[in-house]
Amino acid sequence: MLKKSISIISLLFLLSCQSTINIKNDLEIKGLIRLKNSIDNNKISDLGIKNFKILSKELNIAEFTCNSKDIEKIQNSPLVKYVDIDKKMYLENFKVSNVDNGFQPNDTFFGLQWNIKNINVNKAWNITKGSPNIIVAIIDSGVDPNHPDLKDNLLPLIDVWSESGESDIYTSGSLKVNYGGRDGNGHGTHIAGIVAAHINNSSGISGIANVKILPIKSTNHMGETSASIITKSILKAIEKKANVINISIGGEKQEGTQALLDAVNLALSKNIVFVSATGNESNRDAKLIKDITVPAAYPGVIAVGASTKSNRVANYSNGGKEIDVLAPGGESNSKDLKIYSTWPTYITYEGYRSGVRGPYAALSGTSMASPHVAGIAALLLSNEPNLTPQQVRLRILSTAKDVEAIGYDTASGYGIVDAYKMLLSNKHSN
């Protein structure tokens, strides 16, 4: 996720609206509700709730609609633990660069991937290149289903965006493009390539791990989404038995919903490694350090900040006591300093806006840093599949390389991740 002037993406903010809400009485509103006990449809309908759909029996969470005049009664009901009302949010503006035309998708393109070498992934491949039994869920804007560097590693797309009754049509003048279940933005395809583009196939780039990607489309082409859609996406990843979840989104701590926190905790309890970006709102050159966003700030989540090609903390990378590690996120002022990865083979919304064409592009931000950690977590689980999320987190943190300061600090956490050292570390030390 990137600061507006730097690169890419704060996919959404998730707002909690559990206090008294001033809404016109004739409006229909929707959101998520968590009940204190098992769900009784008769009692629920007595509250004025309609279009009630259970999302998680374990959490007693459901989505619903109601007339706004009934919301206070619902919130105050003894049956209700909390209500989260949806708020539409937007993808921050970002900048993206074409890959120079002289670099065609072939093995020589790996020479541009300084990020892989900076964290010793190429050395880690001597131990393992991953396993197709490991599933990494990417909750994002979707993935290009036909990208030649990705398609064989993709599981069927889960389109939570359209399942929630939302459309994904871009219109501009006479132009009308229906992206349907495809990635209409580009961000999700870029994230997927960092994790699992084909390794050693004489074409394009190399991802970090030969694993399966579970693409969960959670935004439209502009990055618009809602709290309920992201929560449902996490629950879908749990249902599909993902081993790792990557989510390059963020919101201020006070804007995180209870439902989001509950879903994250459920994922961790189901032995899923959860990785998230810290945010891109800082300007370290000006001594402006912003807090780490949620869900990265939640306990148990591996919170990932961004490092540069020169192994420094990126200027935009948020910091605080919740940060765990850094991974390559790049800088905004040069294509060579950004992260090269896959980009949709068709024209996306951002392509129409900025002239960017795939099948590869260069981006920067903590959004790019987070999937590096998801990727090396997948390598570790490929090699040692019985590790718990807590053990994976400890291995990654304990083998990180110090930068800028000795020991833990609130800018870099425990340092920059090292995939090779992580795999070599004594697994019994956990």
Q: Report pLDDT digits (tens) over 262-290.
A: 999 999 999 999 999 999 999 999 999 99
Distance between CA atoms of 304 and 4, rounded to whole angstroms? 19
Residue among 141, 226, 367, 382 flagged as catalytic: 367
Same-domain pairing of 176 and 307 = yes
- 147 in catalytic set: no
| Percent of the chain predicted with pLDDT > 90 | 67
Same-domain pairing of 40 and 144 = no
Same-domain pairing of 132 and 48 = no
Number of domains comprising the chain: 2
Same-domain pairing of 78 and 180 = no
Segment holding 247, helix H or strand E: strand 244-247
Residue 95 has pLDDT above 80, yes or no: no
Residue 4 pLDDT = 31
Give the CATH number for residue 59: 3.30.70.80
Residue 98 pLDDT = 61
Q: What is the mean pLDDT of residues 341-358?
A: 90
Same-domain pairing of 217 and 71 = no
Final residue of a structural domain among 36, 62, 85: 85
Same-domain pairing of 114 and 218 = yes
Same-domain pairing of 71 and 191 = no
Same-domain pairing of 153 and 64 = no
262 domain residue, yes or no: yes
- 198 in catalytic set: no
Same-domain pairing of 67 and 144 = no
Same-domain pairing of 81 and 158 = no
Residue 207 has pLDDT above 60, yes or no: yes
Residue 12 has pLDDT above 50, yes or no: no
10 domain residue, yes or no: no
Same-domain pairing of 353 and 260 = yes
Contact 322, 412 (CB under 8 A): no
Residue among 84, 86, 140, 262 flagged as catalytic: 140
**Is 22 or 84 the better-scoring residue by pLDDT?**
84
**Residues contacting 87, CB < 8 A, separation 6+:** 13, 14, 15, 17, 226, 227
Q: What is the mean pLDDT of residues 142-164?
A: 96
90 domain residue, yes or no: no
Give the CATH number for residue 214: 3.40.50.200
22 domain residue, yes or no: no
385 domain residue, yes or no: yes
Final residue of a structural domain among 60, 85, 110: 85
pLDDT digits (tens, 9 = 90+) for 244-254: 999 998 778 87
Could you tell me the two tokens for 213?
A: 């990607």
370 domain residue, yes or no: yes
Beta pairing, strands 212-217 & 135-140: parallel
Residue among 147, 187, 198, 372 flagged as catalytic: 187
- 187 in catalytic set: yes
Contact 196, 363 (CB under 8 A): no
Q: CA angle at residue 361 from 356 to 362, to 5 degrees?
A: 115
Q: DSSP labels for 53-100?
A: EEEETTTTEEEEEEEGGGHHHHHH-TTEEEEEE---B-PPP---EEPP
Contact 350, 186 (CB under 8 A): yes
110 domain residue, yes or no: yes
Which structural domain, as residue segments, surrounds residue 264? 97-429
350 domain residue, yes or no: yes
Residue 90 pLDDT = 53
Final residue of a structural domain among 85, 109, 129: 85
Same-domain pairing of 398 and 292 = yes
